Amino acid sequence: MAVKKTYEEINEKIRRGEAVVVTAEEIIDIVKDEGVAKAARKVDVITTGTFGPMCSTGAFINFGHSDPPIRMAKVWLNDVPAYAGVAAVDAYIGATELSEVLGMAYGGAHVIEDLIAGKKVKLVAKSYGTDCYPRKEIETYINKDVINEAYLFNPRNAYQNYAVAVNSSARILYTYMGTLLPRLGNATYCSASQLSPLINDPFYRTIGIGTRVFLAGTQGYVAWQGTQFNPQQARGENGVPLSPAGTLALIGNLKQMNTDFIRAATFHNYGTTMFVGVGVPIPVLDEDIVEKASISDKDIYTTIVDYSVPQRSKPNFGRVSYAELRSGKIEINGKQVRTAPISSYTRARKIAETLKTWVKEGKFFVQQPVETFKLGQSVKPLEIVTEEEI
């Protein structure tokens, strides 16, 4: 009989402390040794994890009202501008916003890390003053305990696969994929591959709006599909996209996060960004789920892209598997090229392991999506046109 389990059945097992939970790495050998059917009967939840730089990250903060109150029109946190074009004391601080004093050495990501770490942050706000909000200026200090609310809302995290970056030009390039040495001097890649959430559920059967996830050390949720969600990307026979495809918009309480699982970063001559730790538990509803999640690096392919071409559509040097990338060397045009990861595989493992413990101990339940993502959509570019052409 084919295996069928419901979310309720799995959660009941978790509640009783009887759920069998393994990581997306461990499931590979279980399926190899025991087969899909037996693995599906035995295992209830498969945990995934990823820890990479994700620029599309930021936090909404509600500072609480001062006396007399202010409608903050411009806000700075440790000299980093935050967007305040929402209600009176709401603001959004984005990871890539740079300090007006320190530039690339300190950005929104660093403000977020400092807040999570419990450090004090200088808040400056300016306003034009209104009858209901007469105050025009504020300069004070905050930390995560004194601010009213703070939550991360990341428009695009956990990319389902990503390109390999190389540089065929004669000069060194500084990119969000790290320092790319000239004349194919290195190749950088950025995915947790066989541990990555969306690679283990390639058609988003269990990951959709409302899915409960591990976000930066606490429980968070999938709020929406991530921006640039591109499920129609070319896929291999196993269903895994061969280039960047699905993405997740994630939300979670900043005050409960842990800097072990989220970290500010500066990519030299590019700017600031944020390493974000994300883990998603995949409930074993049937054999198909297990089969897809048992994929290993040798069967996950990605595309080698030449970042020296400053155009939207960059030329590529073909495809390569993560097993090859993780071997430390790949061959491009007959040349041996050294490879380097940009996302941390050890932290991805730690996230998948932490999530496994949480589920085993009955602290974390699987949540059926309230809505699944549509597979038919694609990404639109921005064309530069005149007023008459639109």
307 binds other proteins (CB under 8 A): no
52 binds other proteins (CB under 8 A): yes
179 binds other proteins (CB under 8 A): yes
214 binds other proteins (CB under 8 A): no
Q: Is 361 in contact with 216 (CB distance < 8 Å)?
A: no
For residue 308, what is the DSSP state? T
182 binds other proteins (CB under 8 A): no
Cα separation, 140 vs 149, in Å, equals: 17
> 82 pairs with which residues across the strands?
75
Q: Which is nearer to other proteins, 13 or 356 (CB)?
A: 356
| Run of H or E residues at 164 | strand 164-166
Looking at 2, 132, 382, 390, which residue is catalytic? 132
Q: Which is nearer to other proteins, 130 or 179 (CB)?
A: 179
Residue from 99, 84, 222 nearest 153 by CA: 222
State the alpha helices, DSSP H only, in the chain: 7-15, 26-34, 36-42, 108-116, 197-200, 287-293, 322-326, 345-360
51 binds other proteins (CB under 8 A): yes
Residue from 297, 283, 308, 275 nearest 359 by CA: 283
Q: Based on C-alpha coordinates, what's the Rg of the chain?
A: 22
Q: Which is nearer to other proteins, 3 or 278 (CB)?
A: 278
Q: Which is nearer to other proteins, 56 or 344 (CB)?
A: 344
103 binds other proteins (CB under 8 A): no
- Can you tell me which of 76, 133, 204, 275 binds other proteins, judged by CB under 8 A? 275
Q: Which is nearer to other proteins, 140 or 336 (CB)?
A: 336
Please state the closest distance from residue 81 (CB atom) to other proteins, in A: 22
Please state the closest distance from residue 240 (CB atom) to other proteins, in A: 21
80 binds other proteins (CB under 8 A): no
Cα separation, 37 vs 2, in Å, equals: 7
Q: Which two three-digit tokens encode residue 51? A: 């820890």
Residue from 12, 59, 103, 38 nearest 274 by CA: 59
Residues from 228 through 257 that contact other proteins (CB under 8 A): none
Among 3-11, 66-74, 238-246, 268-276, the segment contacting other proteins (CB under 8 A): 268-276
What is the DSSP track for 93-131? EETTPEETTTEEEEEHHHHHHHHHTT--EEEEEE----S
# residues near other proteins by CB under 8 A: 33
73 binds other proteins (CB under 8 A): no
Residues from 309 through 348 that contact other proteins (CB under 8 A): 328, 338-347
186 binds other proteins (CB under 8 A): yes
3-class DSSP state of 14: helix
Q: Is 190 a catalytic residue?
A: no
Q: Which is nearer to other proteins, 107 or 226 (CB)?
A: 107
Give the residues lining the site for other proteins (CB under 8 A).
Answer: 51-53, 174, 178-181, 185-188, 263-269, 273, 275, 328, 338-347, 349
What are the catalytic residues?
132
